[in-house]
């Protein structure tokens, strides 16, 4: 379930046994609006454990008709093979 924090939204999934965050998705609602208006190109890229949490960062990006990029959202994942 997406939580609303003004202009931003986020969703946190925790392991119920350890209360450790396993997944985090966050976005600016403008990025969602742009993705709905320009759905033709969607780029998804994942870094590999280069942050202090050793969690891969998944970045969702869209492309406008004029060739400019915009961020749709980001997700921190426990492992590369989970979402």
pLDDT, tens digit (0-9, with 9 covering 90-100), for 18-42: 988 888 899 999 999 999 999 998 9
- Do the domain assignments include residue 63? yes
State how far the Cα of 17 lies from the Cα of 35, in Å rounded to an integer.
36
- Hey, what are 26's tokens? 């966050």
Instruction: Look up residue 80 and give its DSSP letter.
Output: T
Domain with 58 in it? 3-77
pLDDT at 63 over 90: yes
State how far the Cα of 31 lies from the Cα of 9, in Å rounded to an integer.
11
- Please tell me whether residue 14 adopts helix, strand or coil conformation: strand
- Do the domain assignments include residue 69? yes
What is the total count of domains within the chain?
1
Beta strands in the chain (DSSP E): 3-5, 8-14, 21-28, 42-46, 57-63, 69-77
pTM: 0.79
């Amino acid at each position: 379930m997406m939580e609303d924090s003004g202009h931003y939204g986020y969703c946190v999934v925790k392991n119920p046994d350890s209360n450790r965050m396993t997944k985090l998705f966050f976005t600016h609602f403008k990025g969602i609006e742009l993705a709905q208006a320009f759905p033709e190109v969607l780029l998804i890229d994942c870094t590999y454990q280069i942050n202090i949490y050793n969690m891969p960062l998944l970045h969702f990006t869209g492309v406008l008709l004029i060739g400019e990029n915009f961020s749709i959202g980001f997700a921190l994942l426990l492992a590369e093979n989970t979402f």
